[in-house]
Every structure is written in C-alpha cells, then in structure tokens.
Amino acid sequence: MIHRQRHVREISRRLRNFEVVAILGPRQIGKTTLARQIAASYQTRSHHFDLEDPVALTRIQEDPNLALRSLKGLVIIDEIQRLPDLFPLLRVLSDRRPRPARFLVLGSASPNLLRQSSESLAGRINYYELNGLGLDETGSDRLARRWLRGGFPAAYLARSHRDCFEWLESFCRTFVERDLAQLGVRTPGATLRRFWAMLAHRHGQTWNSSEFARAFGVADTTVRRYLDTLTDALVVRQLQPWRENLNKRQVRAPKVFLRDSGLTHHLLGISDASSLDVHPARGATWEGLILEFVMEKLAAPGREFYHWRTHTGTELDLFCRKGGERLGVEVKLTSTPRVTQSMRNALNDLGLDQLIVVHAGDSSYPLTGGIRTVAASRLETDL
C-alpha cells in the first residue's frame, strides 16, 4: 500500500474548513484507502459506511437520520452515488452547532451527483478530485513504470506487466458494463467501449465530432454526449482552447486526452515497454502523462488551463492563466529540447511570463530569454 500523505494533509485541512468534503474519482483510484489513512490520522473517532456493503446500505436506507445523527467525529460515506438522497440530510446534520461531526463522502463524479450535492450543500461542501499516483508517491526513478502502467494503484503495483494489463482489462469491462450504468448512463456498454478505444487512437488530438459521428453512424450531438459521459466519469479530459485577440485564425476545438496512461496503452494494445518504444502514439501518451502531472502540480484556486493552436501551426501544449500571470508549457519526448519558432511565437503572441519545456532528460536548465527546461523526473522540485 502506498501512503498518500500529500492528499491526507490537504483533505484534512479542508475538513477543518468545510462541513462536508467529497473525494471524487473513478473506481479503484484509491479513494477508500485514502479515506482510511485520513481516519487513522484524525484526532477523534471515525465511522465508515460503505454503501456497496448490503448491511451498511440497509442500515442507512431504513432510517438515515437514526443511523447518522448520533455519530461524532469523522463520518465517512463511501460510494455516495448509490444514495444521493442523503445530501438534504447531510445539510441538516452539518448545520448543527456545536458541530459534532464532519462528513467525508466518496464517489464517482456524475452530473446528477454533482447537481444534487451542490444544490443541497451549497457553501458547505468542498470537492477534491483524486488523480492517479503522482511522482511524489511512486518516486521519480519509477517514471517509466508509471508511464507504462498508469496511476491506478492496483495496476501500478501489479507483480508483472501481464498482471497489470489483465487488471486494466477487468477495469474497462466493469467500468462500461456496471459503473457507468450506476451513474445513470443508458448508452450500451459495448458502444462506449468502442468509442473509448477510438478516443485512445486520437489521444492528444483536437476533437472532431464529424469524424467520430461518421465512424459510429450517428449524429454529431450523440458522439458529443459519449465524450461528455466519459469526461464526467473522470477517465477523459477535455482541454479547452484559449483564444487570444490576434489577427490569426485559432483552433476552437478542445484537445482530448485519456487521463490514465495505463488505460490508454491497454486500449491501444500496448502491454510492455518494448511495444511502447516503437508505437506511433508514444509521444502522445507521454504528453498526456506529463500534462496531468503539471496540472495537478500547478492546480490552485482561480488557475485555468487551456491549449492554444493557430491554423498556421503555432501551438502550445498547455496555457496556464491566473489573474495577470501567464505560463506556457511544452512537452517533448527528448533529452535535448531546443527552442523552436513555434515556442517563440507562443511566447510573444500570448505575452507569456515564462515558457517551460518539460523533457525526458535528467536535468533542468535555462534555454533563452523567458524559456527554460524542466526534466520530467524533477517536476516535483523544479516546476
């Protein structure tokens, strides 16, 4: 088991400021294990209700007020999406003064879950999105393993690559056949599995709804709904385009990434390091991995992330904006990155304060005015 101390500290801090904290993430990303680690560090008693346990589910369904009102300390409710009607009660319980309990709820994100929780607990709930294992948790010397296997703890810690990718196949099957149905998705699992695999082959590219619609023989709006479904379930990321006031035609479509590199590789048929080394999508999956690390590292209130591209070919992998601060990030699968004309154009056209080139080498160093490199293995310390 990997102790996720950074997340424990941050969620514990939020629990001091909010009556309810929700940890959101796909199944098996480590929410339950993290909740147990938080409970172990909590200074008062904790209570854990797993709504996939028939006993716990029955106990709360029969009389939720009776089950929860008398509890003190930290109350953990796992798989909250199975019983979203609890949110109005949590509002009542969280408004008590003095406050006898804090609530930590765990669940997979879905529009219905987010809507009900935000409507019932406005101003009382804080959302924490749990991503795959970070470099601070795996160690920078394990970056190649993390890239190949992805960030799901069970996949990353598997005894062999074969065990890892068997687990990922089981996850994919369960996800489209059961998990999405529990989130209220009515699209057939086989259709979403095929769509997911097609997305893997377009990983890191700008979204083209017409191309997907032709492949599936449906309307553009239908494939857009498929994309939003997987985005809401936190397995796909849509990086929206930034538009600057320039005399240039700019791309308006989002770039689409699968959020876990292990799942991307599995859907592409990559199952070991040697097949990854020669696969044409190698650079794209590396870019997706690094961008996830960078966005998690730079995440802060008010900070927004975009991609930027013009029709003449100038592009920026990641544009970060917070107030007047402007930061650009380029990702290169090379140990010797060089300044390109595209980088210079992005630096000038977007008025960047700094442009960072993340690369696969071992050291970080400045390149030229406003541009510096950061080694991927040193993101935790040098970004």
| Burial status of residue 356 (CB atoms within 10 A of its CB: 0-12, 13-18, 19 or more) | buried
Q: 109 pLDDT exceeds 80? A: no
3-state secondary structure of 328: strand
pLDDT confidence band for 112 (50 / 70 / 90): low
Per-residue pLDDT, 35: 96
Q: 158 pLDDT exceeds 90? A: yes
What average pLDDT does this structure show over 122-148? 93
Residue 215, CA distances (Å) to 191, 200, 229 in order: 12, 14, 18
Q: 137 pLDDT exceeds 80? A: yes
pLDDT confidence band for 126 (50 / 70 / 90): very high
Residue 157, CA distances (Å) to 145, 150, 276, 306 in order: 10, 10, 19, 32
pLDDT confidence band for 326 (50 / 70 / 90): very high
What average pLDDT does this structure show over 159-184? 92
Q: What is the DSSP letter of 185?
A: -
Residues 316 and 370 in one domain: yes
* Nearby residues of 310 by Cβ (< 8 Å), 6 or more positions away: 246, 248, 249, 250, 251
Residues 24 and 160 in one domain: no
Residues 234 and 265 in one domain: yes
Q: What is the CATH number of the domain that holds 92?
A: 3.40.50.300
pLDDT confidence band for 255 (50 / 70 / 90): very high
pLDDT confidence band for 335 (50 / 70 / 90): very high
Residues 95 and 229 in one domain: no
Percent of the chain at pLDDT > 90 equals 80
Residues 248 and 118 in one domain: no
Structure tokens at 167: 């687990």
Q: What is the CA radius of gyration of the chain?
A: 22
Per-residue pLDDT, 301: 81
| Burial status of residue 167 (CB atoms within 10 A of its CB: 0-12, 13-18, 19 or more) | buried
Determine the structural domain holding residue 359 and report its residue range: 135-382
74, 97, 129: which is the final residue of a domain? Answer: 129
Q: 120 pLDDT exceeds 90? A: no
Per-residue pLDDT, 369: 86
94, 129, 164: which is the final residue of a domain? Answer: 129
Residues 289 and 183 in one domain: yes
Count up the domains in the chain and report the number.
2
129, 160, 180: which is the final residue of a domain? Answer: 129
* Nearby residues of 142 by Cβ (< 8 Å), 6 or more positions away: none
Residues 10 and 118 in one domain: yes
Q: 266 pLDDT exceeds 90? A: yes
* Mean model confidence pLDDT for the chain: 93
Residues 311 and 204 in one domain: yes
Residues 184 and 313 in one domain: yes
Q: 184 pLDDT exceeds 90? A: no
Residues 85 and 208 in one domain: no
Residues 87 and 147 in one domain: no
More confident of the two residues 132 and 83: 132
Q: 111 pLDDT exceeds 70? A: no
- What are 233-250's pLDDT values in tens digits? 899 999 999 998 888 899
Phi, psi of 53 (to 5 degrees): -85, 115
- What are 29-81's pLDDT values in tens digits? 999 999 999 999 887 889 999 999 999 999 999 999 999 999 999 999 999 98
